[in-house]
């Protein structure tokens, strides 16, 4: 079975050379002292796309330097794909290693992962005058809820000791104080719901809706031609969902219609091998964000997935093209013991977010339930 190479046709050595054209952190005093320059830390393809949109929308400053980690799988190809469109004026991407960090004296930061201990420590030591929080998956909704509640910023599903909770609590207090001075912006494409939105506003957080206007202004380019596109889930490789029923579900889809499978950047090799050997399934390489890769789909195609915020974002992007995006519920028998009841509920909450995004894009008459032929094995 053919495995497509996605956006990048470059050899690995050539890609590394391109990524390393800027390799040092932008933390020099002149840059930090420039009130018209923001500093961003990018650690995932989605954070990269949202940082570009935030800069293009004028959310932060006329000039932005984004430190993009070149040791994160697929982030290099994501950068190459986005840069091929031509970056918005005033934005520069610096590709750095795992020591990427926010400039301590920069007046404004753009951050995706506010749960990072590195970010929280830097926030307490060198807090800027303004912080823009961009989407980082479902964690963005949890971040909003914890900020409103004044609870410590610690990750869902990960144990936190006393010291880690103390750091998360201090970060929450610092962000709330900054929000009270008008210094926190939440730039999001996720539906927050009326009550949460009102509580954030009451706390001083400025909410800006991201509808990906910069991306929409770029040429769409080539897109998969298969009728069904499956956006891969990391829940299998993360040990939360059993691989066998997941593979059987996609195989069942492929017996109905040709399928293009876009793996998550943390995909399991066993899953990829099984799908690559399945008739009717074309497996892409992990690369640019699916929001970039699939925006050229046409009516008559559809996108299916397990619960993922990509389903929410793709609904917003593809609604005008009449392409349905259908996340399916994870059957109880698929979950592993590693997925607690609370974690299952947290991950499955994306289904409601996707329904809200669909209703907002298409009106209340839009279909909100899963398509029957995405059900597969249970």
Whole-number Å distance between alpha carbons of 99 and 136: 20
Task: State the pLDDT confidence band at 358, using cuts at 50, 70 and 90.
Answer: confident
Q: Other CB atoms closer than 10 Å to residue 13's CB: what's the count?
A: 8
Mean of the pLDDT values across residues 189-217?
Answer: 93
What is the three-class DSSP state of 21? Answer: coil
Band of the pLDDT at 37, cuts 50, 70, 90?
Answer: confident
Taking all residues of the chain, what is their mean pLDDT, rounded to a whole number? 84
d(CA 233, CA 309): 11
SS3 assignment, position 40: strand
Find out whether 117 and 55 touch, Cβ atoms under 8 Å: no
Q: How is residue 226 written in tokens? A: 């298969």
Angle between helices 309-318 and 350-362 (to 10 degrees): 10
CATH number for region 228-374: 3.40.50
User: Using CA atoms, how far apart are residues 152 and 236, in angstroms rounded to an integer?
Assistant: 28
Question: What count of Cα atoms within 13 Å lies in the side-chain half-sphere of residue 109?
Answer: 25
* β-pair type (130-134, 325-327): unpaired
Q: What is the pTM (predicted TM-score) of this model?
A: 0.82
pLDDT at 361 over 50: yes
What's the confidence (pLDDT) of residue 74? 77
| pLDDT tens figures, 213-252 | 999 999 887 899 999 999 999 899 999 999 999 999 999 9
Measured CA distances, 95 to 76, 105, 112 (Å): 9, 20, 17
39-69 residue pLDDT tens: 999 988 899 999 999 999 999 889 999 999 8
């Amino acid at each position: 079975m053919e495995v497509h190479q996605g956006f990048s046709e470059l050899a690995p050595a050539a890609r590394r050379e391109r990524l390393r054209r800027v390799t040092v952190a932008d933390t020099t005093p002149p840059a930090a002292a420039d009130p018209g320059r923001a500093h961003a830390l990018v650690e995932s393809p989605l954070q990269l796309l949202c940082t570009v949109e935030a800069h293009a929308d004028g959310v932060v400053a006329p000039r932005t330097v984004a430190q993009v980690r070149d040791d994160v799988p697929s982030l290099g190809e994501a950068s190459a794909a986005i840069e091929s469109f031509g970056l918005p004026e005033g934005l520069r991407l610096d590709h750095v290693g795992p020591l990427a960090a926010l400039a301590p004296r920069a007046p404004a930061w753009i951050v995706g992962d506010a749960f990072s201990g590195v970010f929280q420590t830097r926030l307490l030591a060198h807090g800027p005058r303004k912080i823009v929080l961009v989407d980082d998956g479902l964690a963005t909704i949890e971040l909003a809820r914890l900020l409103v509640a004044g609870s410590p910023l610690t990750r869902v599903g990960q144990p936190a000791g006393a010291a880690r909770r103390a750091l998360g609590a201090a970060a929450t207090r610092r962000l709330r104080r900054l929000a009270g001075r008008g210094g926190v912006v939440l730039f999001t494409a996720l539906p927050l719901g009326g009550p949460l939105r009102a509580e954030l506003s009451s706390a001083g957080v400025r909410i800006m809706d991201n509808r990906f206007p910069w991306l929409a202004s770029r040429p769409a380019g080539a897109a998969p031609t298969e009728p069904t596109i499956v956006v891969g889930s990391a829940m299998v490789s993360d040990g939360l969902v059993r691989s066998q029923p997941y593979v059987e579900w996609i195989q069942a889809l492929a017996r109905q219609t040709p399928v293009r499978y876009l793996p998550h950047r943390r995909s399991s090799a066993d899953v990829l091998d099984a799908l690559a050997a399945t008739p009717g399934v074309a497996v892409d390489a992990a690369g640019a964000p699916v929001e970039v890769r699939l925006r050229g789909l046409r009516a008559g195609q559809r996108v299916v997935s397990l619960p993922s915020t990509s389903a929410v974002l793709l609904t917003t992007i593809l609604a005008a093209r009449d392409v349905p995006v259908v996340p399916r519920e994870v059957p109880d028998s698929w979950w592993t013991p590693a997925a607690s009841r609370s974690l299952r509920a947290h991950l499955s909450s994306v289904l409601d977010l996707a329904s809200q995004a669909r209703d907002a894009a298409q009106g209340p008459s839009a279909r909100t339930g899963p398509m029957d032929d995405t059900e597969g094995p249970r």
